[in-house]
Chain A
Amino acid sequence: MLRLMTPTQPEVSAVPTPPPASNPLFPFVLQLADTSLILAHRLSEWCGHGPVLEQDLALANIALDLLGEARSYYQYAAELEGQGRTEDDLAYLRSAVEYRNPLLVEQPNGDFAHTIVRQFLFDVFHYELLIELKAGPDTQLAAIAEKSLKEAAYHRKWSAEWMIRLGDGTPESRQRIEKALRTLWRYAAELTSPTPLELDLHTLGLVPDYAELQARAAAYITHVFAEATLPVPTEAFRQPGGKLGRHSEHLGYLLAELQYMQRTYPGLTW
């Protein structure tokens, strides 16, 4: 899909391991790009399989929003890196261990409740992060955040309403939400746990204070869970790793599908 809009550079893209980037913002922007792309791909897997036509479209809309956001980040990342790689090279020709998305977004769709819980936990964080990036010192990142914030605000509204409907719905919908929470809650903390890179960028003022962001996200989650009559999980177990390149087995399968065309037919356009 990205190929459609950009010229191809098969010669450059044939080399998957880049030289180390000099701009410290590059790996962070790449992390944002990976996060949006992987979640967009997961949501796109619902296309044609949604529980009803209206929600099938809603899921596809969100997927396309996130894909658009990912493209902006990849284009900026390619510019920051300055090694001649394009957005497509970054999206399609890196291996799983090079991806920096948090583990939450690569988790499989499961049932609709599972997708809603994954989406809600991400949306709450995404919304708060974009508010901070929009006010941040990097003008390009601020511009992308400003555009994406309106979309993210709607995503959060959509997934929050579904949390409430399913949590405070029928015994079956509630049981499915609770099951999804038991599986996915452990991945939420990684979103607001800074990596060494993010801590360094925070001291430079380029990445927001994640502790403050976490507090705001937690307050919103508590508010929505109260309406959904769901107890906020107290499970202490946390599973980080994705932002450091340590992924679950799911990412490999996802990338195999996502990258298949460019790997099989390098430089393919359509």
Chain B
Amino acid sequence: MNNSEWPLWEVFIRSKQGLDHKHVGSLHAADAAMAVQNARDVYTRRLEGVSIWVVESKHIHASNPDEAAEFFDPAADKVYRHPTFYDVPDSIKHM
């Protein structure tokens, strides 16, 4: 990467109805303050959100796609891990 280029940031937006910030994309900015402003200008032009998080992309550590098989496939046949085998008493509401 060219040293004169601004670092990459990941942008998370919370919509008006949403409770969680969702990843919407990335952008370049010199620092966090500029990243928030850029995110406002790039990703909230059409009323997409009411709150912005940014995090520098280098701080995100990801799982390795090559290890996807051993990471995720073993969970496929373990239905007993879902709490669907309990009888819920009628008096318990909002489950």
Chain A contact residues, CB within 8 Å of chain B: 52-55, 57-58, 61, 154, 157-158, 161, 165
Contact = CB atoms under 8 A, between A and B. Distances in A.
B41 A54 contact: yes
Contact of A161 (B28, B37, B40, B42): B37
B1 to A, nearest CB: 15
B30 A54 contact: no
A99 to B, nearest CB: 29
B29 interface: yes
B28 A52 contact: yes
B79 interface: no
B28 A61 contact: no
B28 A58 contact: no
Contacts of B34: 161, 165
Interface residues of B, number: 13
Given A154-B40, A165-B34, 5 more contacts: A52-B6, A53-B27, A54-B28, A58-B38, A58-B41
B14 to A, nearest CB: 19
Contacts, number: 28
Given A54-B27, A158-B37, A61 B6 contact: no
15 contacts: A53-B28, A53-B42, A54-B27, A54-B38, A54-B41, A54-B42, A57-B41, A57-B42, A58-B37, A58-B41, A61-B41, A61-B45, A161-B33, A165-B30, A165-B34
Contacts of B28: 52-54
Contacts of A55: 38
Interface string B61-83: 00000000000000000000000
A79 B28 CA distance: 45
Q: Most A CB atoms within 10 A — which of B6, B29, B33, B40?
A: B40
A52 B37 CA distance: 14
A55 B29 CA distance: 10
A57 B45 CA distance: 10
B40 to A, nearest CB: 8
A161 B29 CA distance: 13
Interface in B1-45: 6, 27-30, 33-34, 37-38, 40-42, 45
A204 B6 CA distance: 52
Contacts of A53: 27-28, 42
Most buried by B among A53, A54, A58, A157: A54
Contacts of B41: 54, 57-58, 61
A61 B38 CA distance: 11
A138 B3 CA distance: 54
A121 B24 CA distance: 34
B50 to A, nearest CB: 14
